[in-house]
Structure 1
Amino acid sequence: MAHTNELQLIENQGWDERILVCRNGKLVDTFIVVTDRFVVLVDTVINPQTAAQMLEYAQPHLVNGCQLLVINTHADYDHSWGNQLFVGEKPVPDGAEVALHPAPIIGSHLSPAKFQKPEAATYLAKMKELEPEVFSEVVFTPPNMLIQDKFVIDGGDLTLELLPTPGHTDDHYSLFLPEIETVLAADAAELPYPMARTPDGLPQMRESLAKLAALPAETVLYCHAPVTAGRQLLLDNIAYFNTIEAQCRAAVAQGISLELDEETDVLELVDCPYETAVPDAEAWQNVHDYYKTAGHATQVRAMLQWLAQENKTER
């Protein structure tokens, strides 16, 4: 996917006017929450340029002593690579860089370590080489206000409840705003489905989906789904993984081996094509082929690996 430095403010389509939705091409939606006490940027998009545009949309609301806050829902590149705009080194005589718009960045205590992994540096170097016009200025900047478990921001008129929703990543948070019955799910739910990156992440992700679906929310907004997807997408994501589990368990009951190698065609092995696991609706069919093939196979493989772990535990 080619990336863009442009960030577009999306027209409100029925959600509370204190939530602004910002869209970075076809990649990701991010959010600005305006409260009496704080203006909260939920994620910083892909680079300092997109983060600056997000701040520009927020600027008219930073009045009457309202303070800027930033939240990283998790440390993935499309959610946190604009962090450097808000956090920098303290000024010292040798001229260390200082953030242009200082603000606390709230994020999981697990997030900083992800910026330090060798594979993260390798990925950034690759992105800088492939798309220098987008990524050349990115400097890894982890959140600096680290939280664990639930965290609550009292904005005066609105409360922001930051809820751990691991699975897609172990550092993932979603937000619930009870006064306006609104969930910002981030990547805990997506269309067509959120991605579990490890077998251990799969049950966590399903628990997170159940947690979000149990909230008394009338409005649910996502980072990777149409703004019109609504609360139903949570239920559809739950149903997707339930279907995969049922198909995998049925295949195991018929005697398939759970000793899988990389060449195993897991979709044929458990007879679980994409079309049978998702709703029969246009939006679910008009997704990138990756989600119908390799991405779907990755989720089925993770389910089989999780069942294999379950079987070992039961023995």
Structure 2
Amino acid sequence: MAHTNELQLIENRGWDERILVCRNGKLVDTFIVVSERFVVLVDTVINPHTATQMLEYAQPHLANGRQLLVINTHADYDHCWGNQLFAGETAVHPAPIIGSHLSPAKFQQPEAETYLAKMKELEPEIFGDVIFTPPTMLIQDKFVINGGDLTLELLPTPGHTDDHYSLFLPEIETVLAADAAELPYPMARTPDGLPQMRESLAALVALPAEMVLYCHAPVTAGRQLLLDNIAYFNAIEAQCRAALKQGLSLELDEETDVLAVVDCPYETAVPNTEKWQNVHDYYKTAGHASQIRAMLQWLAKEVR
């Protein structure tokens, strides 16, 4: 995917006016929450350029004694590579960066350094200035920010990553799901992450929320997307269980076409509507196959 340094403020489409939605091309949406006491940046996008634009959108609201807070929903590049604007030697507007206690270690992994170096080489105009900057206020379990008129409940929603948080704003019955739910589906990166992700989806759908906003889904997707994501994983579980019952071997090599042997093409696991079918081919093929493999490996633990 080609990246862009542009960040666009999205026209409000029915959510509370105290939430601003910022869009970085076709990659990701991020959020600004304006409360009586705080202006909260939910994620910092992909680099200092996009984070600067986010700060510029927030700046008019930093009045009447409001303080700036930053939240990292998790440590993926499109959610936190603008952190250096708010902490460290390059900070232009120092502010607490709230994130999972599991996040800092991810910035120190050799593969993270390798990935950043690769991105700098491929797109120096986008990633050349990025400096790894982990969150500075580390949290574990639920964490609550009392903004005066708005409460921001940070809820652990692991699965996509183990350090993932979503937000619930009870006064306005709104969830900021981050990557816990996506269109067409959130990606579990490990078999153990799959049951966690399904539990997180169940926890989010159980919240008394009328409005749900996502980082990787249309702003009009609504609460229904949570239910559709749950249905997707239910569907592939059912197909995997059926295949195992019919004698499918658990020892599948990387060359095996799991979509064929499990008989679970993408089209049968998602709603038959245009927005679900009009997704990148990766989600219909390799991405879908990776979730089926994760499901098979998770189910395998039941029979061992």
Which category of TM-score, normalised to the shorter sequence, fits these structures?
Answer: over 0.9
Q: Deviations over 1:53-107 (max 9, x none)?
A: 000000000001100000000000000000000001xxxxxxxx34111000000
Instruction: Give the corresponding residue for 2:190.
Output: 198
Question: Match of 1:87, SS?
Answer: coil
In 2: Cα distance, 1:264 partner to 1:306 partner:
18
**Structure 2 residue 88 is matched with structure 1 residue 55:** no
**Structure 1 partner of 2:174:** 182
Shift of 1:264: 1.1
The normalised TM-score by structure 2 is 0.99
Question: What is the match of residue 265 of structure 1?
Answer: 257
| 1:59 aligned partner, one-letter code | Q
Structure 1: where are the runs of 5+ without partners? 89-96
Q: 1:129 to 1:216 in 2, by over 3 A?
A: same
Match of 2:40 in 1: 40
> 1:309, CA displacement in angstroms?
1.8
Q: Residues 90-149 of structure 1, C-alpha deviation per residue, up to 9 Å, x if partnerless?
A: xxxxxxx34111000000000000000000000000000000000000000000000000
Q: Secondary structure at the match of 1:302?
A: helix
AA aligned to 2:298 is: W
Q: Which runs of 5+ in 2 are unaligned?
A: none
**CA distance, structure 1, for counterparts of residue 294 and residue 238 of structure 2:** 14
Give the structure 2 partner of residue 237 of structure 1. Answer: 229
Residue of structure 2 aligned with 1:163, choices 155, 158, 164:
155
Deviations 1:163-218 (A, max 9, x none): 00000000000000000000000000000000000000000000000000000000
The answer to which of 58-67 and 256-265 deviates more is 256-265
- The one-letter code of the counterpart of 2:180 is A
Q: In structure 1, how many angstroms separate the alpha carbons of the residues matched to 2:90 and 2:275? A: 44
Aligned to 1:5: 5
| Partner Cα distance (2:145, 2:256) in 1 | 47
* CA distance, structure 2, for counterparts of residue 258 and residue 158 of structure 1: 49
Q: Secondary structure at the match of 1:107?
A: strand
Give secondary structure in 1 for the equivalent of 2:158: coil
Instruction: Provide the identity percentage.
Output: 88
For residues 289 and 127 of structure 2, the distance between their equivalents in structure 1, rounded to whole angstroms, comes to 30
Aligned pairs, number? 304
Q: Of 209, 216, 232, which aligns to 1:217?
A: 209
C-alpha separation between the residues in 2 aligned to 1:311 and 1:72? Answer: 38
Give CA-to-partner distance per residue, 1:221-272, whole Å, 9 cap, x none: 0000000000000000000000000000000110111111111111101100
One-letter amino acid matched to 2:69: L
Separation (CA, whole Å) in 2 of partners of 1:79 and 1:37: 24
Q: 1:303 aligns with which of 295, 298, 302?
A: 295
1:41 match: secondary structure: strand
| Cα distance in 2 between the residues matched to 1:98 and 1:194 | 33
CA distance in 2, matches of 1:67, 1:167: 31
SS of equivalent residue, structure 1 residue 22: strand
CA–CA separation in structure 1 for the residues paired with 2:277 and 2:248: 29
What corresponds to 1:148 in structure 2? 140
Structure 2 CA distance, aligned partners of 1:98 and 1:42? 20
Q: Give the superposed CA RMSD.
A: 0.5
The Cα shift of 1:38 comes to: 0.1
SS at match of 1:174: strand
The corresponding residue for 1:123 is: 115
2:208 maps to a residue whose letter is P
Q: Which residue of 1 aligns with 2:164?
A: 172
Moved over 2 A (4+): none
What's the offset of the Cα at 1:310? 2.3
Q: What SS does the corresponding residue of 2:160 show, helix, strand or coil?
A: coil
SS of match in other structure, 2:153: strand
